[in-house]
A = this chain, B = another copy of it.
Amino acid sequence: MAMTGVLRPGHAQVRVLELEKAVTFYRDVLGLVETGRDDQGRVYFKCWDERDHNSYILRESDQAGLDFFGFKVLDEATLDQLEKDLNEYGIKTRRLPAGDLLETGERVRFTLPSGHDIELYATKTAVGNGIPAINPGPWCADSERGIAPVRLDHTLLYGPNIAEVKKIFVDVLGFYLVERVLGEDGDSEAAIWLSCSHKVHDIAIAEYPEPGKLHHCSFLMESWERVLRAGDIMSMNEVPVDIGPTRHGVTRGCTIYAWDPSGNRFETFMGGYQPYPDYEPLTWTFDNFGQGLDYPQRKLHETFLTVVS
A→B interface (CB under 8 Å): 1-8, 49, 51, 72, 74, 126, 133-139, 144, 150-151, 173-176, 195-199, 222-225, 228, 231-232, 234-236, 238, 241, 244-247, 249, 252, 254, 256, 271, 273-274, 276-285, 288, 291-292, 295-298
Cβ A150 vs Cβ B232 within 8 A = no
Identity of the chain B residue whose Cβ is nearest the Cβ of A5 in the assembled complex: B2
Q: Which B residues lie within 8 Å of A4 (CB)? A: 1-2, 4-5, 174, 277
Minimum C-beta distance from A47 to chain B (A): 11
Of all chain B residues, the one with the shortest Cβ separation from A74 is: B277
| Extra pairs beyond A8-B198, A135-B292, A235-B295 (5, CB < 8 Å) | A1-B174, A3-B198, A138-B252, A228-B254, A235-B291
Which chain B residues lie closer than 8 Å to A136 at the CB level?
249, 282
On chain B, the residues within 8 Å of A280 by CB distance are: 51, 126, 133
Name the residue of chain B whose CB is nearest to the CB of A272.
Answer: B138
What residues on B are CB-neighbors of A6 within 8 Å? 2
Min Cβ gap A257→B in Å is: 11
User: Nearest CB to that of A144 among chain B residues?
Assistant: B144
Roughly how many angstroms separate A176 CA and B247 CA in the complex, as a whole number?
33
Q: Which residue of B lies closest to A258 (CB)?
A: B296
Which B residue's beta carbon lies closest to that of A71? B2
Residues in B neighbouring A222, C-beta threshold 8 A: 271
Complex: A134 Cα to B286 Cα, angstroms: 11
CB pair B235–A296 under 8 Å, yes or no, is: yes
Would you call B174 and A241 a contact (CB within 8 A)?
Answer: no
Q: How far is the CB of A296 from chain B (nearest CB, A)?
A: 3
Q: Is the Cβ of B291 less than 8 Å from the Cβ of A249?
A: no
Contact B198 A138 (CB under 8 A): no
- A298 CA / B271 CA spacing, docked (Å): 25
